[in-house]
Amino acid sequence: MIKIENVEIMGWEHAIRGMRNPMNSWEKSDSGICKGGDDGIGCENCANYDSCEHTYDHSWQLGKVDHDLMMRLAAGGPTHAKYRRMITVYVDITAPLYWWKEFDTYKVGTVANSCSTMHKIAEKEFAPEDFSCEHLIDSFGEIWDIAAGDECRSTPLDILYTVINALNIYREKYIGTKDKKYWWQMIQLLPSSYNQKRTVMLNYEVLAGVYPMRKNHKLDEWIEFCKWIETLPYSEIIVGERTKLYADGQEVNL
């Protein structure tokens, strides 16, 4: 299970200025405000023209010339696509601890503030929805082939419920006594399927490193995370050229 929310992206204008610094080509930039008329970016110059609803909502839009340069630099790899480091993404992610353990591989260019397990583990009663358990087997008919012999009389989901019950018992004891030995029972019994929320700051270059390595990962959470990357504005500068399938079956590069 993974939940991604409160996404905010910034730095486009700064990234474009920096991207054009090496060749002093700032006057060639065609990005600007979508407002129609001679002083706006103009639909004919907008890189988002094909999917735009032409609302002239005064939002900032990437121009076709800037977009083309971004794509050409992205094709040259991280050394040439340094502008991607300046496109910053803020996002709230709720995911199990086993996924965060892998996410923590990406240390460069990321900052994260997490909900504290150490300080807040006893804040609320534990419930099944606090855990990523959608793949746990809950019927005996499927369990015998993978269990360690026929001695096992509990399904994996039953075992999780037993752990949750134990966590709640020691939570009550800790709340009632403030004895740290009961706190330790919660900390050391807590499964890696426990969902934790973090507010994360990263950038398009980090995502460009994540995407090819994780898009076909065995964890559902990585698959969903990479699908989210594909929904970001101008994600083609992260994932490379994408294709769109029209109703007549024709594919075109985006």
Is 215 in contact with 223 (CB distance < 8 Å)?
A: yes
Phi, psi of 127 (to 5 degrees): -140, 160
The amino acid at residue 163 is V
How is 188-200 classified by DSSP, letter by letter?
HH--TTBEEEEEE
Calculate the alpha carbon distances from 37 to 34, 41, 108, 141, 159 in Å.
Answer: 9, 8, 43, 68, 65
Is 196 in contact with 115 (CB distance < 8 Å)?
A: yes
Per the listing, tokens 């807590």 go with 190
Q: pLDDT tens digits for the chain (254 residues)?
A: 999 999 999 999 999 999 999 999 999 999 988 876 666 677 778 888 777 766 677 788 899 999 999 999 999 999 999 999 999 999 999 999 999 999 999 988 899 999 988 889 999 999 999 999 999 998 765 555 544 555 667 889 999 999 999 999 999 999 999 999 999 999 999 999 999 999 999 999 999 999 999 999 999 999 999 999 999 999 999 999 654 433 344 443 43
Residues in the chain: 254
- Show Cβ contacts of residue 112 under 8 Å, excluding neighbours closer than 6 positions: 198, 199, 200, 201
Q: Are strands 88-96 and 3-10 parallel, antiparallel or unpaired?
A: antiparallel
Per the listing, tokens 């369990």 go with 143
Structure tokens at 218: 């065995």
Note if the pTM is more than 0.85. Answer: yes
Calculate the alpha carbon distances from 228 to 77, 113, 195, 238 in Å.
Answer: 22, 20, 19, 12
Is 131 in contact with 96 (CB distance < 8 Å)?
A: yes
